[in-house]
Amino acid sequence: MIFKEELIESQRIYEGKILNLRRDKVTALSGTAYREIVEHNGAVAVVAITDDNKIVMVRQYRYACGRAVLEIPAGKIDKGETDPLAAAARELKEETGYTADEVTLLGYCNPSCAYSEEVIHLYLMRGLKKGEQNLDDDEALELLEMPFDEVYEMGVRGDIVDSKTLAALLMAKGRL
């Protein structure tokens, strides 16, 4: 039997622009325990495949990792945005300039389920049409188009460290 923890009380510790942090007191097998939880509005990520079967990737410096990271186009669901698909289409257009005619929901992932409520909605998009990027003021990224199998193998070798990209590649592999 799995023991389900129940909330006893909750305290907000931090409120930020993209996330909040709270400390929850919960029931536990030993009596009570504390859980620090990151509240996040959610995100979207896109496996975008060109007509010549290349995957659209972005490389950008990720301060928290201390290095440039290769990943699929992605971004947060903005406050007030209720449709993850619309957010995914927006992020694809902003980061890559592409729009898509065909969209398939691949699924969802929880990138850090031990301490975060974040859910990332993963999509496969095809029938791409190139347009102009519209990056956020603080975004600087390199746009790449690479053969899907090459990117997948990079994930298998451990050359890709971004969890949403790894999850999406795994889900997309079965659909391609």
Q: Which of 70, 142, 134 is nearest to 99 (CA)?
A: 134
In sequence order, what are the residues at sequence separation of 6 or more whose Cβ sits closer than 8 angstroms to the Cβ of residue 18?
Answer: 40, 41, 76
Q: Do residues 42 and 121 touch, judged by C-beta distance below 8 A?
A: yes
Q: Which residues are catalytic?
A: 139
